[in-house]
């Protein structure tokens, strides 16, 4: 469908989206409507638009979520606002820990612990820590809420505890669904977007550094299949978690697209910056080869990650 000078299309494989701009690959030389004929700052702004919209979409999701209610750690900053569905939640599970061996997952909430001392309802983190500390080396059973399910997991808290870990090998916090007034929600959404973005950037930098220096990944990378599986899990937790997950995906897309790697928006911006520094455009042939090589690398990486995601499902 063509409207004005813009053609809109729906692809046979509706995966992602793209914008093809007249003149972005060097065609239309001398045509004032060509992308290549526009001032350098205009071209950089156009390429940045996709990254900016992903970031703004993340802020919008977070603002909506903070107004309707988003899962948060309950601390002094949140106690002044209405919180519902307050519970003691597993936020992290350490590898090779009793918690991992027992099958605890991020997002599980502990409602009760059964031990030789009887059954103890869990409403505070301190209560769980006290019971676990009193029964190191003994078998205990955690009653967990996982989505709409109530399950039980039996494990033995460690007597010998690794540095920076507890007897179970989990990070637990008191969490709840916190709502903010409509005028405060956009502020909190913007703050959270920048905070999450910095966390993603620092984590990504650490992953790359460890991959270069140690030759191993320190985190799991998910492709389309893995993200699909995660999306299903999140939908089981409820709408607030879906909104938060959508915001995280949007912010991740913004950051990944901003990386100065060929075939990504950041890569195109890199070539435009080089053009600005040297005073003339980079060879279209050289830039085309770089973007093609980058695209092939990204597709190969996606295939590899997707294969790993599928293998985990079986």
Every domain of the chain and the residues it spans: 1-38, 61-69+181-312, 83-178
Q: What is the 3-state secondary structure (H, E, C) of 268-308?
A: HHHHHHHHHHHCCCCCHHHHHHHHHHHHHHHHHHHHHHHHH
Tell me the pTM: 0.73
The mean-pLDDT minimum among 153-157, 200-204, 228-232, 239-243 falls in: 228-232
182-194 per-position pLDDT tens digit: 888 999 999 999 9
75-123 per-position pLDDT tens digit: 755 555 667 778 888 888 888 888 888 888 888 888 889 888 788 888 8
From CA 172, how far away is CA 90, in angstroms rounded? 5
pLDDT confidence tier of residue 291, bands split at 50, 70 and 90: confident
pLDDT at 12 exceeding the cut of 80:
no
Place of tokens 């959270």: 192
Q: Tell me the CATH class for 83-178.
A: mainly beta
199-220 per-position pLDDT tens digit: 888 877 777 777 677 766 555 6
- pLDDT value of position 83: 75
Q: Could you give the C-alpha distances from 291 to 41, 266, 284, in angstroms and in order?
A: 21, 11, 10
The mean-pLDDT minimum among 9-23, 33-47, 291-305 falls in: 9-23
Q: Could you give the C-alpha distances from 48 to 3, 30, 145, 227, in angstroms and in order?
A: 24, 24, 43, 25
188 or 310, which is more confident: 188
């Amino acid at each position: 469908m063509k409207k004005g000078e813009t053609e809109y299309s729906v692809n046979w494989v509706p995966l992602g989206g793209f914008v093809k701009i007249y003149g972005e690959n060097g065609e239309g030389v001398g045509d004032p409507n060509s992308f290549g004929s526009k001032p350098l700052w205009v071209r950089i702004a156009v390429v940045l638009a996709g990254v900016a919209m992903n970031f703004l979409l993340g802020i919008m999701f977070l603002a909506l979520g903070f107004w309707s209610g988003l899962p948060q750690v309950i601390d002094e900053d949140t106690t002044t606002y209405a919180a519902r569905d307050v519970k003691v939640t597993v936020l992290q599970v350490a590898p090779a820990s009793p918690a991992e061996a027992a099958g605890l997952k991020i997002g599980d909430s502990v409602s009760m612990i059964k031990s030789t001392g009887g059954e103890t309802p869990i409403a505070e983190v301190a209560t769980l820590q006290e019971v676990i500390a009193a029964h190191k080396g003994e078998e205990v059973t955690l009653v967990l809420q996982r989505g709409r399910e109530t399950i039980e997991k039996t494990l033995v808290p460690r007597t010998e505890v690794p540095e920076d870990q507890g007897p179970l090998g989990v990070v637990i916090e008191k969490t709840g669904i916190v709502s903010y007034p409509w005028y405060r929600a956009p502020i909190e959404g913007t703050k959270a977007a920048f905070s999450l973005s910095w966390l993603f950037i620092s984590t990504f930098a650490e992953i790359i550094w460890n991959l270069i220096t140690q030759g191993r990944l320190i985190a799991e990378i998910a492709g389309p299949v893995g993200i699909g599986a995660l999306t299903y899990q999140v939908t089981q937790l409820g709408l607030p978690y879906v909104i938060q997950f959508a915001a995280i995906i949007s912010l991740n897309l913004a950051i990944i697209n901003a990386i100065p790697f060929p075939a990504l928006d950041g890569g195109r911006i890199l070539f435009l910056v080089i053009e600005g520094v040297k005073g003339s455009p980079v060879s279209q042939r050289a830039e085309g080869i770089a973007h093609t090589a980058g695209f092939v690398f990204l597709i190969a990486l996606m295939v590899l990650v997707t294969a790993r995601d599928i293998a985990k499902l079986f």
